[in-house]
């Protein structure tokens, strides 16, 4: 059984479907990366801004015992009414902020977390070369267009966008962030898992949890591991922002349904990225149905605005802006 558990923890790194190769990330947290290289995609039809994204209308372990890091709360079931199986498809891209989310944020302030910092927890799609890194590099690397209001959130969280998270690595799945083998030993303690290490060192007020694509290989462990991530985040005073994914590698949408159901149950923010890409050509996916179409962060460029990665970065900023402002109300 130990060998089987080890195989499941390593398999996602052997068969990662979330990203294609991009410029190599620096190992040091906080390092700034080189620009994203383009990925070849087939020509597509240009959509208007209104058709591309809406934030209002619904579009919507090698460790032998695989234990949680010390201090992690044991997951307990809740009695909140569950979300209907297909209801997640109708949820908005940008969530409203619940009172429970505000309580988590306040708990984080009491623990000394930095309200102007966020972490990324995920696979290669959460590394700076792909996800949000340009927004630490200056306006030369992005254009906000009609979304100038996002300049406030960009300035507020400077230092987090291009930071290399210790809990985001190519091939990571929901189990990997609790696997001490994958922790960066330059920064992490000998018995510390990537998620605990990232939160200890960065002390973020918020965290994007963007997992699921590499969990298609072992669906039975996805929900329990996501619960561990959520509850560890809450205990640490970090507001977890869960994200649905663009692909449907599992074939029945069950991973997105689980992510949305857990966000509903724990009353934490859900970024329904799946809904944001539905109006895009091929739903923002390349021909393989797994990789997102690449585009630069130019939100004033209609051609860029029909690419999955452009919309991912735009809607991530919109969600961070909404949650950041919402927890202070």
Q: What is the pLDDT of residues 211-237, one digit of tens each?
A: 999 999 889 999 999 999 999 999 999
Quick one: average pLDDT of 147-153? Answer: 98
Q: Residue 109 pLDDT > 60, yes or no?
A: yes
Q: Tell me what the pLDDT averaged over the chain comes to.
A: 82
| Local confidence band at 20 (pLDDT 50, 70, 90 cut-offs) | low
Q: Residue 111 pLDDT > 60, yes or no?
A: yes
d(CA 231, CA 106): 16
Q: Residue 41 pLDDT > 60, yes or no?
A: no
Contact present, 309 and 273 (Cβ < 8 Å)? no
Quick one: average pLDDT of 22-40? Answer: 36
| Local confidence band at 83 (pLDDT 50, 70, 90 cut-offs) | confident
Q: Residue 54 pLDDT > 60, yes or no?
A: no
What proportion of the chain, given as a percentage, has pLDDT over 70?
A: 75
Taking CA atoms, 252 is separated from 86, 214, 256, 257, 326, in Å, by 11, 15, 9, 9, 33
Quick one: average pLDDT of 275-289? Answer: 96
The superfamily in CATH containing domain 47-55+83-326 is SGNH hydrolase (3.40.50.1110)
Domain boundaries, the chain: 47-55+83-326
């Amino acid at each position: 059984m130990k060998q089987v558990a080890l195989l499941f923890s390593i398999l996602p790194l052997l068969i990662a479907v979330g990203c294609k190769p991009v410029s190599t990330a620096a190992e040091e947290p906080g390092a700034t990366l080189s620009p994203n290289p383009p990925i070849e995609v087939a020509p597509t039809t240009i959509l208007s801004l209104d058709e591309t994204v809406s934030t209002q209308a619904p579009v919507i372990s090698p460790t032998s015992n695989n234990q949680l890091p010390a201090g992690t709360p044991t997951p307990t079931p809740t009695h909140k009414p569950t979300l209907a199986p297909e209801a997640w498809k109708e949820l908005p891209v940008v969530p409203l902020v619940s009172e429970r989310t505000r309580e988590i944020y306040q708990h984080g302030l009491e623990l000394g977390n930095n309200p102007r910092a966020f972490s990324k927890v995920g696979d290669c799609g959460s590394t700076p070369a792909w996800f949000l890194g340009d927004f630490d590099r200056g306006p030369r690397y992005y254009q906000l267009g009609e979304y100038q209001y996002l300049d406030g959130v960009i300035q507020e969280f400077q230092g987090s966008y291009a930071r290399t998270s210790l809990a985001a690595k190519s091939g990571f799945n929901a189990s990997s962030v609790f696997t001490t083998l994958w922790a960066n030993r330059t920064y992490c303690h000998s018995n510390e898992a990537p998620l605990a290490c990232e939160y200890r060192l960065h002390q973020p007020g918020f965290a994007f949890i963007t997992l699921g694509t590499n969990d298609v290989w072992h669906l039975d462990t996805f929900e329990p591991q996501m619960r561990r991530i959520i509850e560890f985040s809450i205990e640490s005073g970090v507001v977890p922002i869960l994200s649905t994914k663009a692909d449907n590698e599992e074939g029945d949408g069950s991973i997105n349904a689980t992510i949305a159901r857990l966000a509903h149950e724990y009353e934490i923010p859900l970024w329904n990225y799946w809904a944001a890409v539905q109006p895009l050509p091929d739903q923002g996916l390349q021909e393989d149905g797994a990789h997102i179409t690449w585009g630069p962060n130019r939100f004033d460029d209609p051609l860029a605005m029909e690419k999955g990665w452009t919309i991912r970065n735009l809607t991530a900023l919109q969600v961070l802006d909404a949650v950041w402002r919402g927890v202070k109300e």
